[in-house]
Homo-oligomer: A and B are copies of this chain.
Amino acid sequence: MQYAKMFLTIAVLVMVCITCGCARTEGNVQRYGCVIGVRQDRIEDYKKIHAEVWPGVLALLRECNIRNYSIYLGEVAPDQYYLFSYFEYAGDDFEKDMEKMKADPTTQKWWELCDPMQSPVPTRREGEWWHVMEEVFYTD
């Protein structure tokens, strides 16, 4: 009976650990910081559509292991605007998940809407739209 109780307690511990977010601790996620320009005349449109992103787009982000994803708008010089994104990748094959996103018709339509509002930085790597930046510091 004592063993049964101990087993039950351990099982509950494991279950709760999984469901309540242990996966979001350092070591289990890869952090990404990205940057892209935004056209000044499309900022309001960009903010508007991002206040109500299509449910299909959000669902796929989650399915593709993207977590804790924010986008910030920054004016770094008069009339010079950039979008800065931060997200955490909780899966184990980033490239495969990105391919899955690229292949999704809803996400493709979403990007067709967003892309003309953005202006990729000229310093980006080949194949990049958002430019992935270098992490120079981290603490938790």
Residues of A within 8 A of B (CB): 5, 8-9, 12-13, 16-17, 20-22, 24-25, 31, 33, 35, 37, 46-47, 50-51, 53, 58, 61-62, 66-78, 82-84, 86, 121-123, 131, 133-140
A21 touching B25, Cβ below 8 Å: yes
B73 touching A134, Cβ below 8 Å: yes
A136 touching B76, Cβ below 8 Å: no
A15 to chain B, nearest CB (A): 9
Partner of A37, one of B9, B58, B76: B76
Residues of B near A133 (CB, < 8 A) are 72-74, 84
A50–B86 Cα gap in the complex (Å)? 19
Provided the pairs A77-B121, A123-B77 are in contact, do residues A134 and B17 lie with their beta carbons within 8 angstroms?
A: no
B136 touching A71, Cβ below 8 Å: yes
A12–B61 Cα gap in the complex (Å)? 32
A123–B78 Cα gap in the complex (Å)? 6
A33 touching B86, Cβ below 8 Å: yes
A17 to chain B, nearest CB (A): 5
